[in-house]
Homo-oligomer: A and B are copies of this chain.
Amino acid sequence: MPERLGPARERPLVARLAIIGFGLIGSSIARAVKRLNLAGAIIAVDHDEAVLERVRELALAEETTIDPAAGVREADLIILCIPVGAYGAVAQAMRNGLKEGAIVSDVGSVKSSVITQVQPHLPSGVHFVPAHPVAGTEHSGPDAGFATLFHNRWCILTPPEGTQEGAVATVKAFWAAMGANVEIMTAQHHDLVLAITSHVPHLIAYNIVGTAADLETVTQSEVIKFSAGGFRDFTRIAASDPTMWRDVFLHNKEAVLEMLGRFNEDLASLQRAIRWGDGETLFNLFTRTRAIRRGIISVGQETPEPDFGRRREE
């Protein structure tokens, strides 16, 4: 079912929105905000002048600047859409521009580290509502974004204890307007959940693509030609942005290592089953896993079409 956004609002939700970092996510937010009239003005901030030039060509913002402090001045809502390793430096760079009552949010894939990095830099009277829209593609940059990216996806908010309720409500309304389902949990729990649903899957995808590339007994050309047996699915995830993902692993170390430890234990048990010809263990697992996919399809987080709906013609 194609995904649709609702009608545009008559009045914007916030007057001035600063988006810091204009890659896939930042540019998707800008597109959705324009389509839905969620902000009076968008201020684009990026450290790369070429990206800002592209933002102007695509008319994704009313103003553009390379300077975070200038960009956030008078902004009501500021959303960091940058690799999580850069948060501390950017928070420091923008702090003097933040106005009283401004809300700072983000889209980072890890949340405990983000809070630790940003909070010390925020003046009192500025609200911090960390957010993570669980959505994306393997493409990067301002041209890769699209307005429906967050539609029917989940956006997790992890406001630290004591965060002003009004600020949380604004960020919640902002994501709901873009079609996302909003859930609130602690940063610590978020990091554990995402370690298994996103971070470890990315790690093992990157890993097997690397393993395949390094073999001597099978050529790279063979790996590429015969990839339709399953391997090519992994290469999509392993084509995700390297800087973003390096930072995710460095900033969610404990939860990733914990989940990876369980993955390894389970894999060792499958390896043993193969070595000893224990077909029952294999069959039982392979039957059980089908139910999880059915669950994902039934809640609308996946297409029921075979092969992800990759095109074919009868």
User: Smallest Cβ distance from A11 to chain B, in angstroms?
Assistant: 24
Q: Is the CB of A245 within 8 A of B208?
A: no
CB-defined contacts of A224 to chain B, threshold 8 Å: 292, 295-296, 299, 301
Q: Which of A138, A224, A270, A292 has the most CB of B within 10 A?
A: A292
List residues of chain B with CB within 8 A of the CB of A235: 289, 292-293, 296, 302
B209 touches A289 (CB 8 A): yes
Task: Across the interface, name the chain B residue whose C-beta is closest to A139.
Answer: B306
Chain B residues within 8 Å of A253, by CB:
274-275, 277
Q: Which residues of B contact A146 (CB under 8 A)?
A: 312, 314
8 A Cβ contacts from A296-314 to B: 296, 299, 301-303, 306-314
- Beyond A226-B154, A259-B211, whether A232 also contacts B302 by CB under 8 A is yes
Can you spell out 30 A-B residue pairs with CB atoms less than 8 angstroms apart? A136-B229, A146-B314, A148-B312, A153-B228, A156-B226, A183-B225, A193-B226, A196-B223, A197-B218, A197-B230, A198-B231, A199-B230, A201-B208, A203-B270, A206-B286, A208-B263, A209-B293, A212-B292, A213-B292, A220-B292, A223-B292, A224-B292, A228-B301, A242-B283, A246-B282, A247-B279, A257-B274, A257-B275, A260-B274, A308-B308
Question: Apart from A245-B282, A307-B308, what are 4 other A-B pairs with CB-CB below 8 Å?
Answer: A197-B227, A201-B233, A207-B266, A220-B292
Closest CB pairs A-B (n = 8): A198-B229, A242-B286, A137-B306, A308-B308, A201-B230, A235-B293, A2-B313, A238-B289
